[in-house]
Each structure stands twice: as structure tokens, then as C-alpha cells.
Amino acid sequence: MLEFSRRALLGTALAAPFARGAAAQEGPYILGSVFPQSGPNAEYGGVFTAGVQLALQHIEADKLLKRPIRYISEDSQALPQQGVIAMTKLVNIDKAHWTFAAFTAVSKAVAPIGDRAKTVMINGGAVGPDLSGLSPYFWNVIPLAHLETRALLPYLVGQGKKRFALVYVDDPLGDAILKELGEQLPKVGAELVGSFSIPRDAQQFGPVAARVRQVRPDAVYIASFGAQQSQIIKGLRNNGVSQQLCSYSAMNLASVGSLPEAEGMTFTVQKVDYAGGDALTRRFAEDFRRAHGKEPTVYNANYYNGCRLFGLLAHELEKTNTAVTGDSLKDTLHRLKKFPLVGGTGEFDAAGNMMAAIEVVQWKGGQLVKLA
């Protein structure tokens, strides 16, 4: 309800540059991430980091690169300002070769910094459609929301859902989804009958539920992320909203699946076949299970891919003794276009977006069930 994160101290950006120093040309490659490691979205930070770290282990085990890699994790708290501070530090002080971003609002805020410094930024978690083409150095290894809604909406309309209500978080992701639904629903013969904006730290959803019920939707689309998703689901369900709930890939969190109120929540994720896939995918899934004792999620795979992509591109550059810079990495990406990654061959378009297949899934008894 109130913007009240208690992170007024300018946080990690001012933290310890001392042990590090600038990277010499022949020192290690510097990879940095701007993930939420604290605050209500910290669960994502852990998931994203696990993917990056597994890829780092594999790159090292395979001796893919001549130079070592140093990985620096900065905390964005999923907030743009903290993200900007962290990114400034990674780019200007640590001289990172390659960075990882997440969250639409954070990605949009840090993109100009990476762009100015010609540092590659990889997004494997945020899905705001305007993240495409943000900068020549900003690449998405995740299908963006417009691809997700275009898979989800026809499915739900096929199930007889014609009237959609949208509960969306008041930030760039929410705004993007609002725009997307407004444009896409009429095309599939449905309509957006109401949209309800909520602040990022809102907690009371009783009144919102009352407004949602009043527009008599067939389905309610929730565009939020992190801890708030669970609160919205519970708030709506507890206050008489019994309609179909639907969303995008952010619902793919263990804490959402375990919520009894989330039963029947339908959303879209990327298609990754861990068991029947290629050797790379199986190795990723097996090592992930061994390390974490649970099934990998798509987010783990995305950031694994994002990190592996650096290994593949830098390997190419090392072969020709070319310096690893933002520009040489970019040129190599556009030259090769296709890369062996988890989930199959990843192909990038001219804007730096990786294409991927999407499937519709549902939470049922705490398990993810594939619908279409």
C-alpha cells in the first residue's frame, strides 16, 4: 500500500569495491547480475542465481574458456533505483563483460547504462513486451509477454471465456500487459471488461475483489510478481471471486503452486522437455536436481542459457584471439544466430530476442499440469 521498503540507505552499490579493482585485459571475465536478493521478490533472485551458477560450473568443468570467470551478484530488490545503482557499479567499477538483468521495471532502468557502456545485458525473467529492442546490447532469452498472451488468450477463449478483468501491478510490466490485453482480446473475440491497478506494495484486496466481481468477468488475469501474487490470489478467492484465474509465466513459483487458493490458476510457460530432450538439457536437469534436490524451473533454464551463451560467444572470440567486448560479442551473436542451449537450439532474431515455444499450464494440487 505504501512504498515502504526500508532500503533508504543506498545499499549495495556503495558496498566494497575494495577487494576487486578493475579487470585487467588478461584477468578473469567479469559476469555480474542485478537480481533481487532481498525484499519481497528475493525468491526469484535465488532461482535466477542458481541457473547462472550451474552454467558457470559447467563452463569450468568443460574448460570452455581459457580465462577464468568471476561472478559478481548485486542486489536490485526488484526496484529500478537499486538496479541502476547496482548496474552503474557493475559497469563502471567492476568493468563487467556481461550482465544479467531481471524484472521489467529494473531492465528498462538499467538498459541505458549498459547501452552507454556497450555492455551486454541478458534478461531471462522479465517479460514486458517493450523489452524487445531496448538496446543493441540488451538480449532476451525468454519469450516476452506478448508471445505469452497470444498463446494463452486463444486457449481460454476456446474454453468459453469471453469477458476478461485485469488486476495489474502499477509498474511498467503491468502497464505493458494492460496495453497487450486491450489490443489482443478483441482480436480473439473477447473483451477487457475492467482493469484494476494496484500499487506494488498493496496488501488489501477485498475492495479490489468487490470491483472485479462487479464487472462480471469470465476470467481474471493477474499481472503481478513475487510475494504479491499470492496475496492477490488469496484476496480475490477469499472475497468471492470464483472465476477462472489466469496469468503469465511469473506464476511459475513454488510458493504460488503450494497456495490452496491457486488451484486451477492457468498460465503460460516456455516449453522445455527435461527428460526427453538433448544431452545438454538432460545434463542441466540432472545436475540441477543433484545440487538442489528439486526439479528445475524455466527461470533456472533461462539464466543457465544466458550464462552459457556468454561461454559460447567468448569461446568463439578466443578461437580467433579477438578481444571480448560488448561489440565483438554482439557481432558474434548476429553472425552465428543459433546456439545449442537447454531446451533445444536457441535462435536469436535481429533484435536479440530468443525464440521459444510456449505451452499453457495449470496449477493442480500443487503440481504443474500441461493443458495445451
User: What's the burial of 126, exposed, middle or buried (CB within 10 Å: 0-12/13-18/19+)?
Assistant: buried
Cβ-based nearer residue to other proteins, 79 or 269: 79
Closest listed residue to residue 128, CA positions, set 198, 177, 181: 177
Minimum separation from the CB atom of position 206 to other proteins (A): 4
Cβ-based nearer residue to other proteins, 33 or 332: 33
Identify the helix (H) or strand (E) that includes residue 166. Answer: strand 163-169
Minimum separation from the CB atom of position 271 to other proteins (A): 29
Minimum separation from the CB atom of position 111 to other proteins (A): 8
Residues 6 or more apart whose CB falls under 8 angstroms from that of 238 comprise 206, 209, 261
Minimum separation from the CB atom of position 40 to other proteins (A): 4
Cβ-based nearer residue to other proteins, 42 or 317: 42
Minimum separation from the CB atom of position 282 to other proteins (A): 30
Minimum separation from the CB atom of position 91 to other proteins (A): 10
Minimum separation from the CB atom of position 183 to other proteins (A): 19
**Please, are residues 76 and 70 in contact by the beta-carbon 8 Å criterion?**
no
Cell numbers placing 344: 533445444
**Please, are residues 218 and 193 in contact by the beta-carbon 8 Å criterion?**
no
Cβ-based nearer residue to other proteins, 54 or 176: 176
Place of cell 477463449: 157
What CA–CA distance (Å, rounded) separates 270 from 143? 7
Cβ-based nearer residue to other proteins, 122 or 202: 202
Helices (H), the chain: 42-61, 80-88, 104-117, 145-158, 172-187, 206-214, 227-238, 254-257, 279-292, 298-319, 326-336
What CA–CA distance (Å, rounded) separates 100 from 87? 10
Place of cell 503481478: 224
Cβ-based nearer residue to other proteins, 132 or 322: 132
Cβ-based nearer residue to other proteins, 41 or 244: 41
